[in-house]
Each structure stands twice: as structure tokens, then as C-alpha cells.
Amino acid sequence: MTTTEARHWTAVCADGDILPDTGVCALVEGVHVAIFRVGRPQALYAIDNVDPKAGASVLSRGLVGSIGERIVVASPLYKNHFDLQSGECLEAPEHSVRAHAVRVHEGRVLVALA
């Protein structure tokens, strides 16, 4: 198990750069990552940004919402829903993406790849 201290954290933007209930994309160590600020209170989530079915880097542009207790983003291309905590694709689990650690430190959003 990786501890928070052992992870390699990359600063991607200022905390205020992500508007509520939206996502942004960032290149973290060569990986396209989608970072979302969602909910009440606002929480941060990070998953791979590439839609595995389309191969396009678009998940950060999807609509965020919930299905039951799950907070999800709907891909703007094929409308598959991805759980923001786990990266699981609800309609086709074989198309799931990785979920990454995300936190705020000294006003910066930091991501550590899974």
C-alpha cells in the first residue's frame, strides 16, 4: 500500500481554477488526467481523461452528476458513466479508467498517479 508521503505529487492548478461541478484536464507525468470539483461540500476527484471506447481525451468535459449514491461523469462521446471515486464504467466495466489521488496543499491542486 502506498502512503501519502511516498507518492509523487504533481501540482496541476490553483485550487480556485476548478469551478464547482466541473472538470479540467491536466498532463501529469505524460498521462491525461481529468480533475473534478463536485458536491456539497465540494470534493476533488481525479480519473484518467481518455474515454477508453473512443480513445479521445474528453472525460473532463463530461457532465457530472450522480446515479444513486455514486458521483459520476458522463462521457461527452458515448455517454458512458464513470464513477469518480473508482473510475469504474457503470455500463461496461471493461472500459473502466484509473482513479488517482488528489488533494489541495497550500492553495494548489496536487495529483498522484495510481
pTM confidence score: 0.92
pLDDT of residue 48: 98
Please give the pLDDT value at position 40: 80
**CA–CA distance from 62 to each of 10, 16, 25, 65, 102 (Å)?**
23, 20, 11, 10, 19
**Residue 2 confidence (pLDDT):** 47
- Rounded to the nearest angstrom, the gap between the alpha carbon of residue 45 and the centroid of all alpha carbons in its chain is 5
pLDDT given at position 5: 60
pLDDT of residue 92: 96
Query: Cell numbers of 104, please?
Result: 489541495
**Regions of the chain where pLDDT drops below 70:** 1-5
